[in-house]
Structure formats: C-alpha cells, structure tokens
Structure 1
C-alpha cells in the first residue's frame, strides 16, 4: 500500500526537486521508503508502506532493459498465478511483488488484457519509454483513488490532490460548480473535484497519455442479470465467494486485523478471518458505542478486541485534520469515528479488513425499499413488486398523492420508478433549499437529476428498480464517499484497509442474485445475512443496521461545540458562499431544539472547515489530543 504521484512536462528541466516535494505531501501513505523515476518527459514518485516482499518491494520497478517503469498503489490478490504464467513466457523477475507482475503483465498482454486477468484493488501508472506513453488504471470499484490535472503542456496524476499543490504549474482554484451538488449529496458529486481542473479517473477505467493527448477508456462495469439459482444455492454461492475473497485478502507479510462494528458486514468478515486483533470505536455518549456489541461478538468468537472512545473535544479539534486528509469536503459523519478507529488500530497492525461494499452489492440500504418493521406491509409490498411495470407505476403515483400513513413510503418505494425518487443513498439539502442559502454565483451547477441520469441511462433496460438503485450507488455514493473516506482516513494513519466484499468474483455472484432474495418481507440484504449466519452466533446477522452512529445532534446542542461552529459561520469570508443570516438561523434553531437540521449544519460546517484549511490557512493541521480523555470511563 502506497502513494503514487507523477507528472509529464517537458518544460520543467529539473524535475527531481518537484517530484520530491510532491511525494512529501503524501508521506503518510508510505512512511517506509520513497523512490522516483525521472527522464526528460516524465517524473514518477512513490511512497511505500511495506506489506509484501518487505525487503525487495521498493518502487519504481523497471523491466529487464529499463525501458518500462511502474508505480503501484494497492494489492493484486491473484498475482502468484499470473507470475507463473509470465515466468513460463520468459519474463525475468527481480522481486516477489505483485507490482512486478503488473509490469511484466503489461508487456506480455497489454493494458486491456492485463486488467481482465487481475483481481484486487489498485491504482497504478506505467511509463513506456519505447512508446513515449503513460498508462494508468484504477480498480473496478474505485477502492484506490486516482486524480488527474491536464492544462496545456502539464499533466499531473496521483493518489491525492494535496500532492498537486507542490507542482509549480498547478493553478489552485475552487471549482464553484461543486458546492451546490455537495450540499445535496454530502460529498463531491461531480467528475470534476472541488479543485478546478482536477478530475477523478473513474472506477473501472484506464487512461493513455500520448503526445500530450489524454484518452480514458472503460474496461469493466457491474452488470446485474438475475440467474436461476434456488435460494439455498444462492446463499451457498455467496458464502463460497466471500470466504474465498477473505482468504485472498489475508495475504500479507505483516499482521492483518479487522474493523468490527455491530453490523453484519464487518461481523461476517471478522468471523471468516479470525484475526488476532479486532478494533471498535465509540463515543463518550453511551448511546453511541459500537464497542459493546463488538466486544460481545469478539468474546463469542474467542478473539481479542481493542476499543476506544472519541470525545466531543477530540472530534471538534481534529475535524480540520480529517478534512485535510480527505482532499475534498465530505460531511458523512462516519468520517470522524473512522479516522480515530484507524489511528487506534495502527498501534497493533498495518493491514485491516473492513465491510464496505456489502450494502451496495447485496441491497442493504433502507432507501432501496425497506422502511417499515411491519411484517404485513412487507409481505404486501413483496406482492406489489411482482406486478407489471405499468401497474406498479400507477400505484406508486397514487401513493405519492395520498396523505401520509404508516407504510406509505415503503409501499411507494417498492412500486415507483427509481429515477423518480432515488438520487443515491445520501440526501441533505434539496436543490431549492440549497438555492435559498447559496450566493447567486454558487447556484449554477449540474442539476441533481443530470448527475444521476448519467448512471440511470446505462441501466434503462433494467426491469428491476432495486438494481437501478444499486447501480447508481456503486457509481456515485460508493466511490465518491464510502471508499474515498475508507482509503484516505486509513492511509492518513499509514494503514492499509482492504474490502473483501469488493472483489470481482464476489461481484459476479452478487450481480446474478434476484432482488427477491435480497429485499423481502424478512429483511434487507437477506441472502447475505443467511450466508453470514453460517459463521456467526445465532441470529447475529439479523441485527439492525446502525452504520457508525455519530452524536452530531448532541454535539450541536452542547454549548461549547455550538459556539465553535457558530464562530466559523460568522466569519466574513463565509459571505462569499452563503447567506450568512440563513445559515446562522439553521444552526441556532438546531441548538435551541426548535428544528433537527443537524445534517444541514454539519454539511455546511464541513465545507467551511475544508475551505479554511485549503484556501485560507494553507497549512497542514496537526493532531490535537484531549488531555482530559483519560478521566472519561470508556
């Protein structure tokens, strides 16, 4: 696990100090060593966190004659079998790393064929000096980040945007069009980031840079197509694929642990992995402590569990540091516990397994149509889902006009076209609400509908509305929020976080599961829960999903926290973006408990904290410990 950064620019003659300064900005991703490859055309920089082939895995790695170089961030889990084929084909290896397998694999198969063969999480860059071409690829789901900036003769690409700031040709500007969609989605929702001219290489894509011309091409996508397996066969297939994935994800020359919450996803992974160390986090507010349930499960499985709490003061003081590491504002409250969880785990292990991706692949979110505890309503909704599309849509439109009643939302989302109501798992401000608090020049952006339509167009032939929603989240919420924070906040603490559910072999199984086995009158993510129950204590997998609960409401109703947030909202520079009176009113009503707009306040506050870090303070925040923490009983 590492950090990679590169640039192509013939006009910069002395590239070494530039690439070294850029590498220093991502030292947290690879504190063990660094390396670079430099010629007249390009500079490649690498920071290493040693996981596999501890002695021989330094990068960049070059081919036999030194004409092709690679830098790589990630893990290839089937590299040993591919290596055997490459050795048989005559390639000579200098290391035992998966990185060198990618290098020779590129030479032997080319980019497209190589990407079809590999299994893993990755972002890698290859410079082919024979062709004077740069290639780069990002993994299937976007587990590992890759950004690029292309302006004139300058092309920059790498793991984190903060490294771009040290390039002399990079023009740091705020992308004004990013703010309005962010207020709706809680994360940076456009392809262009909050930094003008900086884009993500999309998940499942690779690029080619030749003669300063950039070409980006898709090589993989999720394709849901229901199979004809029975329910029992489906559960068996899930368990087999997840078990094999966990086995592949445990490959490491350093110790592997797991993150453990009260939910089924991390519990399933932990039960299969059986690591020496598991880790959990909670808050000084007792209602929000995942550690209690995690400790119970660890004890039942005979595993060690380390847990800690995050204090209100710790969260507030270190929030700028968290937003700095994310590169872009992300108001998902779970960013806070995740940062402290990986910071704690770093004391014992270097690699951790986690449960991200299960909700998207196996339909675990309530917004896919699971909004009631009434079994009768669930059974009725299951029947409605089986009706012809036109009949379902007419029922949905009728339900939409009705006065609210218990079960109405569940029934509506079980019958309505996904495009009509679902914009992704996160929703904070509706567009009209955003317009009311934004200054006029920040109201211009792509509409929410335009953003999600790009994904819906690709699945318009689907008859299954749940599959449409899953596809949208796989290409919006998951790579731009869930996986982004998982990568950035683990790497902030020099940790490698692996996600066994997001394996292409697991995805093959998930893509074929009929929705009736996932969301039904029994539960959401039903078939996955049944697979997990094979390894967990009785009924553990049926526990209600909590999803990293964070006491934002309690914080904002606590006077010291509220005053700190209000002090930020009152700054003069805030008027550039927001109607200051309007956002102060939202904050004050939340503090006085006249309204519960915690998510709106938190989303505004997150952006302002991020903006201050990157555009006002222009310095790296430092970790601040809570000196009173030892007095608080965990």
Structure 2
C-alpha cells in the first residue's frame, strides 16, 4: 500500500519554474498512504517530461524494493521507472515463470520488480496474470510513454487529469488538484456528477465532482504520451456464467469454493510484517479470519461498535474470535468522537461518500494500526456470491413476469393513490417496473421528486441510466440476480465499498486486503447457478454450505447487518444534530443545494414526523466536502501518528 503521483508534461507548454517542486509537494499531501519512505524521480530537472513521486508503506522486501523503481532488460537496464500501489499476491509464482521463460534476473525480493518484468515480456497480457490489488504508473524511457493500470475490481484507486500543461495521475484527487495551476486542470464542479452522487450516495466511476479530474476505471489501463490525451482500454470485464449443478456434485462444488478461498487467504497472508483481520458479526469476515488463523495462530482481530444499545457488532465478534481462537481488540465510538472526526474523514475521502459505516471503519483502522500493519477483510463476498437481501426481490416479484406489460403498468398506476406505508403499495409499484427501471444498484437515497426539492439544478435527463444502461446491455440474457450482481460490481462495490475500505485504512497507514476479490475466487463464484446464490430463506446459499466446517454455528446463518450506525437517532438530538445545523447555517453551497429544504428536513426528522436520516446524511456529507474542497472554509486537523517501520 502506497501513494503514487506521475506527471507527463506537454513538451509544447511552458515549464513552470516550480513544476518539479510542486509535484513533490503534492505527493507529500498523501504521506499517510506511505509514511515509511518518500521517493522521487525526474527525467530532466530543467525541462522535465516525466516526474514521479511516491510514498511507501513497506510490507514486502522492506530493505529493498524502493520506489520509484528502475528496471530494464540487459541491453537497457534503466529503461522503466515504476511507482506502484498495492500487492501482487502471486509474485513468487510470476518470478519463477519469468526466470524460466525469459531468464530474468531480479535485483530485489519484492513484487514491484515483477510488474515491470512482466509488462516488458508479456505486454498488456501481464495484467491478466497479476493476482492482486494494484494501481501503478510505469514510465518507458525508450517509448516516452506512461503506462498505467488498475486492478480488475478497482480495489486501489487511480485518478487522472489532463490540461494544457500535461497529464497527471495519482492515488488521491487532492494531489492532482494541487497541480491545477501548473497543469491547467479544470476545477469546475460537475453538476451531473453531483446529481448522480445525491441519488447513489457516491460519485460513480469514471466521474468525480471536478470536471477536469476523472478516474481510470477498474479493469482498465491507460497510455499517456507527451502532448497527447490519454488512451484508455478495458482489459477485464467480469462475467457471470452460471453452470447448473449436476446430480450428486453439490459437495464437490462446495469443496471447490472452500479450496479457492483457502488458497486466496494463504496468498493474501504473504507479508514481511504482522497481518491481522477485521471481524464483524457476519459470515464473510469470520470466514476470512478463521482461514487466516491456519497461517497465523496468533492472529489479532478487530471490531468496533457505538455507545448506544443495539448498534454494535462487538458481542458477536467477540464470540466469533473466541470460537476460532483469535485475540480480539474492540473500539467503542462515542457520538462526540464520531462528529469530531468527520472533517478529517471527508478530507481523506477526496470525494463524498454518504455511507455512515465508513466512520466506524476509520476508527477501527486507527485502532488496528497500533497492533498490525496489514488487515484482511471480507469485502466483495456479497457481490460475488449473492449476499444482499435485495437480490431476493426477483423471487418475490416472479408472478409479475407472467403479466402483459400493459397490465403491469396499470397495477403501478393503481398503486400511486394508495397511502404511503400501506401494505402492498411498494410491491405493486415495483412489480410494475422492469429490472432496469427499478434497480439502480445497492443504494438509492432520493427519488426524482425528492431530488427536485433539494437540487436547484436538477435535470430530468441526468438519471441513473447514465450509469446502469450500458451495464444492463452487457448482462443481457443473464438471470436477474446475475444482472444485479453485475450492476453492483461496477457501481456499489467500486463506488462505495472499496472507496471507504481504501481511504479509511490508508488514512491510518494500514493496508487492507480483500481475499474474496481475487480472480480465482471470482471464477468459481461466477459459475454458481441462481438457486445456489439466492433462496426464499437465505442469501449466499452455496457459500454458507461451503463454510459450514469453517465458520462458527452462531454466525453461519446470521442475517447481514454490516456496521450499524445510529445516525437516525443522533440526528434527532445531541452533537450530530448540532453539527448538522451548523453545517447548513454556514454553507456557501446554496446554488447547488436548497439549504432551506435541508432545514425543513432536519426539523421534520427531529420531530419524528419523517425519517430523513439517509437523505440528510447524503446532503450533509456533500456540504462538508464543499466546505473543505471548494469554499476552503473548513480546514481539518489532520493527525499524523508516527509508527515504527515494521509491526
């Protein structure tokens, strides 16, 4: 885990006198991603074409593998310069393959050198051989080209911006914005991206809230040549291709799931530092921790909860840790701590993400970093194995599939005058819609009618279908659950789940690894038929069967909760409500958000006449983001804990 920044200057543009210093200063803004060792490289200090900056969090081959890393074939030993964020878990196997096939001689014992050698010998096909999480930028001094790539699922981020002065890519958007003057980056707010955020709770890739900054999408690579716009190519698209179980092969297929997970966890445990695990009360993190115990019997697990009854996974997590024999550490968060940390958290995020669960994740990451340098976690299991309750909806709506479209539309119209909350109203409405119309992904904060009330710039044509229509087209012909999974892989997973996982752990110089999001695990999960994912009684059916020998019984069939956060209660009284009123009262974002409407929502929520907590949280996080990154009226106090190089 590290932070990278790479600039390719337009040779025809003037060279700002402070360009090189500005790149290195911008790199310093993400020192939390790699406090162990800074690094820099420039091809020509007087008239630079390429400048690379780096912050290293040393995990593998600590004494070597310094970055930016130089490597090349014998005829040109310094041809490539690499900055790389992430881990390649099969690097030992790839090193051996490169030695035997091409006679490659390695100067280090790490995974970074493997990336360069693999790209040199296999080209872009190397990306399909990398089993890991990664975002990297590789400068080719012979071709004068920057090659950058991102892992298949988007575990690690990579932002990109181009202006008259050149193109810059980096792990954090704030670093690119720091170079806006030197490069000429457009910092205008993207109103369409704001509307997408307000509906979805996150800004979907490749958008950001700044028009001039975009994200290299998951499973894609880009080529940047001096003076030319970036050329982006997708190299990986996840496909669900179910294969029905044959009679008598059920256990063999469950064993296949177990074996591939065991292998993934084993490879994710590779490190020269201590590895721990996050542990909630759910099946996914418990399975990962139990498998990790086989490689480290002294594993430390971590969880968090709140000072409010009913909003804690602590008791279940403690019982799980005891059942698998792990040492356990908990962090209980008060409302005051929660509110005080919000400005710092949003600064680390770069883009607003309206998922309250990222706050406890921030605190447990801070606690975990006192004990370990790497943690395993269970992200991705729901998207791969069918874990969200909403995936069961096609079963409950199956009867509507047999009705002609005009009849379904009539039922939808008949549901409109029914009182809100009346039994059957929602069923009739949703049954009248196609899957493409009703499923946005695993989140939706506002309806169009509600959006009109809070967004002065609301546009009818900026809808969720901007994002989902191409994805539905890709999954045409698949069963409805597989199509929902496909949507979530490209939206909720990489827009919310993986953003908060990366940002909140990296804020605390902690590396988070996700063994479920492994190409080999996906290959097995993608073959599961519908009845092995969702039943009327449960979710993740095949995964639960596969994990029966591994996961404690009290967790195996427990309903999914995630990190429950009491914002609905806290927005009715106390520190969080006071903070909310302060944010609305001081905000300068009135042209973007109807602040009077937000005040009304706060009053209705406080009185208990309506539950606006989810929508309020979405708007409040945006207002805080705007205060930090646009108004510059809020300057978070960024804590910089110091850690030993190795834990």
What is the TM-score when the length of structure 1 is the normalising length? 0.92
**Greater Cα offset, 225-234 or 615-624:** 615-624
Deviations 1:295-343 (A, max 9, x none): 0111111111100111101111110111111101111111111100101
Candidates 433, 436, 439, aligned match of 1:419: 436
Deviation at 1:15, TM superposition (A): 4.2
Pick from 587, 595, 600: which aligns with 1:580? 595
1:19 has 2:16 as partner: no
Q: Within the alignment, does 1:47 sit opposite 2:55 as a pair?
A: yes
In the alignment, which of 229, 243, 251 is matched to residue 213 of structure 1?
229
Query: Does 2:284 align with 1:265?
Result: yes
| Residue aligned with 2:207, SS | coil
* CA RMSD after TM alignment: 2.4
SS at structure 1 position matched to 2:590: helix
Once the two structures are superposed, the pairs formed by residues 420-569 of structure 1 within 5 Å of their partners are 420-440=437-457, 443=459, 446-462=462-478, 464-569=479-584
Task: Tell me the residue number matched to 1:129.
Answer: 141
Deviations 1:214-233 (A, max 9, x none): 11001111111111334333
Partner of 1:222: 238
Equivalent runs, 1:49-448 vs 2, <5 Å: 49-64=57-72, 65-88=77-100, 89-110=102-123, 112-167=124-179, 168-169=182-183, 170-189=185-204, 191-211=206-226, 212-229=228-245, 230-274=249-293, 275=296, 276-369=299-392, 381=396, 400=412, 417-440=434-457, 443=459, 446-448=462-464
Query: Which region of structure 1 is more displaced relative to structure 2, 355-364 or 90-99?
Result: 90-99
Which position in structure 1 is the counterpart of 2:611?
596
Q: Check 1:619–1:412 CA distance in 2 against 1; reply closer, same or farther (3 A cut).
A: closer
- Deviation of 1:58 after TM superposition, in Å, equals 0.9
Contact 1:177 1:444 (8 Å CA) reproduced: no
CA distance in 2, matches of 1:73, 1:187: 23
1:247-281 deviations in Å (ceiling 9; x for gaps): 11010000000000011111111111125200000
- Is residue 2–residue 73 contact of structure 1 (8 Å, CA) maintained in 2? yes
Shift of 1:348: 0.2
Post-superposition Cα deviations, 1:357-398, rounded to whole Å, max 9, x if no partner, equal 111111111111259xxxxxx7xx5xx85x896669789667
- 1:448, CA displacement in angstroms? 1.5
Secondary structure in structure 2 of the residue aligned to 1:616: coil
Tell me the distance in 2 between the aligned counterparts of 1:431 and 1:139: 34
Distance 1:533 1:413, change over 3 A: farther
- SS of residue in 2 equivalent to 1:617: coil
Query: C-alpha separation between the residues in 2 aligned to 1:247 and 1:58?
Result: 25
- Aligned partners of 1:581, 1:413: CA distance in 2, in Å? 31
Q: Does 1:30 align with 2:34?
A: yes
Structure 2 gap segments, 5+ residues each: 641-647
Shift of 1:116: 1.7
Which stretch of the first structure deviates more once superposed, 478-487 or 612-621? 612-621
Contact persistence 1:52–1:97 (CA under 8 A)? yes
With over 3 angstroms needed to count, the CA separation of the structure-2 counterparts of 1:541 and 1:398, relative to structure 1, is farther
Any conservation in 1 of the 2:281–2:316 contact (CA below 8 Å)?
Answer: yes
Which range is displaced more, 156-165 or 561-570? 561-570
Judging changes above 3 Å, is the alpha-carbon distance between structure 1 residues 572 and 23 closer, same or farther for their aligned structure 2 residues? closer
Change (3 A) 1:624 1:59: closer
Over 3 Å counting, the alpha-carbon distance change for 1:368 and 1:298 in structure 2 is: same
By how many angstroms is 1:171 displaced? 4.3
Further displaced range: 524-533 or 131-140: 524-533
- Could you tell me how far apart the structure 2 residues matched to 1:27 and 1:347 are? 18
| Aligned-residue offset at 1:576 | 1.9
CA deviation after TM superposition for structure 1 residue 239, in Å? 1.2
Secondary structure in 1 matching 2:329:
strand
Contact 1:392/1:416 (8 A) holds in 2: no
Partners of 1:281 and 1:349 in 2: CA distance: 16
Is the contact made by 1:139 and 1:203 (CA closer than 8 Å) also made in structure 2? yes
Contact persistence 1:181–1:445 (CA under 8 A): no
Do the aligned partners of 1:59 and 1:71 also contact (CA within 8 Å) in 2? yes
- Structure 2-normalised TM-score? 0.90
CA contact (8 A) 1:172 1:195 kept: yes
Cα shift at 1:68: 1.0
The 3 A distance-change label for structure 1 pair 247 and 413 is farther
> Counterparts of 1:328 and 1:367 in 2: how far apart (Å)?
26
Over residues 45-99 of structure 1, what are the superposed CA-to-partner deviations in whole Å (9 max), with x where a residue is unaligned? 1110000001002111111421211111011111111111222312221111110
Are the aligned partners of 1:180 and 1:445 in contact in 2 as well (CA < 8 Å)? no
Query: How big is the shift at 1:452?
Result: 1.3
Deviation string, structure 1 residues 17-71 (Cα, Å, up to 9, x no partner): 1221011011000000011121131101111000000100211111142121111
Q: Which runs of 5+ in 1 are unaligned?
A: 372-377, 626-634
Q: 1:4 maps to what in 2?
A: 4
Contact 1:61 1:71 (C-alpha < 8 Å) held by counterparts: yes
* Cα distance in 2, alignment partners of residues 392 and 356 from structure 1: 39
- Aligned mates of 1:608, 1:388 — CA distance in 2: 41
Paired residues, number: 611
Aligned-partner Cα distance in 1 for 2:594–2:71 = 57
1:547-580: CA deviations, max 9, x gaps?
A: 1100001111114421221121122613222222
